[in-house]
Amino acid sequence: MKIRDIDSSIKKINKYVLLVICFIICLILGGVGFYIGNEFSLSVFYVIPVIIAAWYSSKKTAIIISAFAVLTWLAGDLLAGRSYSVFLIPYINSVGRLILFLIVAFLVLTVRKHLSEQTLSANEDFLTKISNSRAFFNYARMEFARLERYKEPFTVAYFDVDNFKAVNDIYGHNSGDKVLTDIAYTIRRNIRPTDMVARIGGDEFAILLIKTDPYQAKIIVKKINNLLNNLMRKEKHEVTFSFGVVTFLRKPDSIDAMIKKADDIMYIAKRNGKNRINYFVYK
């Protein structure tokens, strides 16, 4: 089994179940420490539940597991009746172990945070803060698999902002950036959490609507188009939107073929006068 598969499997475990597993590992190690004596060090094994808690749960959980690991280690030593030259030694050792475990936990938490930020930035459009083309393509691949397995249709709405260049030329690029940001925000607020909106490039966007048939697609896209047009009128921008909406009843040959089909349908709308929605069913 690959490391990625193991990681994915652990992430599916309920956080409370994961916490119980970490507690059990610590208890097992405490029991082992009780029997094997001082000849073997179990410190490296105690770090395992601490790392699991820090990577897959929260800072609070990592601190709790770190403290519990120290307590089970101390309990194993005391119950085994080991003798020390000074009675405070096992407690002093416990403080040192707690510091070590906390350092490990916070290092893991820091790495996880930076990795999460890098992953987010790699899949997020820098301006609008919605998904970028890379994230859109990855999500579309999952829909390909769903369509192939469950025969559930999905819809791609590809659209372009008509006359967007005029906004930049007349009002400046800051105004143009605000238009794009407002468009992204409006769509994200008015689609389901399972759907996706992405900025594909420039003033072109794509919306992926999962489990959406042609009838549902018309209702959703018409609503989005009305919201965007109302927003532009409110902001007094003379821009409109040309949509190419394709509902896929069967899987296209590739992601590129999917985008090209939606793009082609969108350009038909632009050639026919802009400010319109063009629909197509791929079957």
User: Quick one: 260 and 165 in the same domain?
Assistant: yes
Residue type for position 192: R
pLDDT single digits (tens) 59-110: 999 999 999 999 998 888 788 777 777 878 888 989 999 999 999 999 999 9
Calpha distance 210→141 (Å, rounded): 12
Q: CA separation (Å) from 206 to 54, 200, 222, 228, 263?
A: 36, 7, 15, 14, 9
User: Quick one: 176 and 199 in the same domain?
Assistant: yes
Question: Is the Cβ–Cβ distance between 270 and 242 less than 8 Å?
Answer: yes
Give 79-136 as a 3 state SS string.
HCCCCCCCCCHHHHHHHHHHHHHHHHHHHHHHHHHHHHHHHHHHCECCCCCCEEHHHH
User: Quick one: 276 and 139 in the same domain?
Assistant: yes
Give the pair of three-digit tokens for residue 163. Answer: 């006359």
For CA atoms 185, 187, 192, 196, the dihedral sign is negative
Q: CA separation (Å) from 23 to 15, 77, 139?
A: 12, 18, 36
Residue 237 lies in a domain: yes
Looking at residue 19, its pLDDT comes to 87
User: Quick one: 208 and 89 in the same domain?
Assistant: no
Residue 126 lies in a domain: no
Choosing from 87, 121, 155, the residue where a domain stops is 121
Band (pLDDT 50/70/90 cuts) for residue 51 is: very high
Residue 48 lies in a domain: yes
Residue 270 lies in a domain: yes
Which among 203, 253, 256, 263 is annotated as catalytic? 203
User: Quick one: 54 and 97 in the same domain?
Assistant: yes
Mean pLDDT of the chain: 90
pLDDT single digits (tens) 106-150: 999 999 988 877 776 789 999 999 999 999 999 999 898 888 888
User: Quick one: 108 and 186 in the same domain?
Assistant: no
Annotated catalytic residue 256? no
User: Quick one: 57 and 153 in the same domain?
Assistant: no
User: Quick one: 116 and 135 in the same domain?
Assistant: no
Calpha distance 3→175 (Å, rounded): 46
Question: Is the Cβ–Cβ distance between 244 and 225 less than 8 Å?
Answer: no
The pTM (predicted TM-score) of the whole model is 0.69
- The 8-class DSSP code of residue 229 comes to H
CATH for 240: 3.30.70.270
Choosing from 121, 139, 155, the residue where a domain stops is 121
Instruction: Give the domain range for residue 106.
Output: 3-121
Residue type for position 51: I
Beta-carbon-side half-sphere exposure of residue 92 (alpha carbons within 13 Å): 6
Beta-carbon-side half-sphere exposure of residue 37 (alpha carbons within 13 Å): 2
Question: Is the Cβ–Cβ distance between 200 and 222 less than 8 Å?
Answer: no
User: Quick one: 249 and 147 in the same domain?
Assistant: yes
CA dihedral 99, 100, 103, 107 (to 10 degrees): -170
Question: Is the Cβ–Cβ distance between 225 and 241 less than 8 Å?
Answer: yes
Structural domain count, the chain: 2
Choosing from 90, 121, 152, the residue where a domain stops is 121
- For the residues 28-40, what does the mean pLDDT come to? 76
User: Quick one: 116 and 227 in the same domain?
Assistant: no
User: Quick one: 179 and 275 in the same domain?
Assistant: yes
User: Quick one: 117 and 137 in the same domain?
Assistant: no
Residue 139 lies in a domain: yes
pLDDT single digits (tens) 219-261: 999 999 999 999 999 999 999 999 999 999 998 999 899 999 9
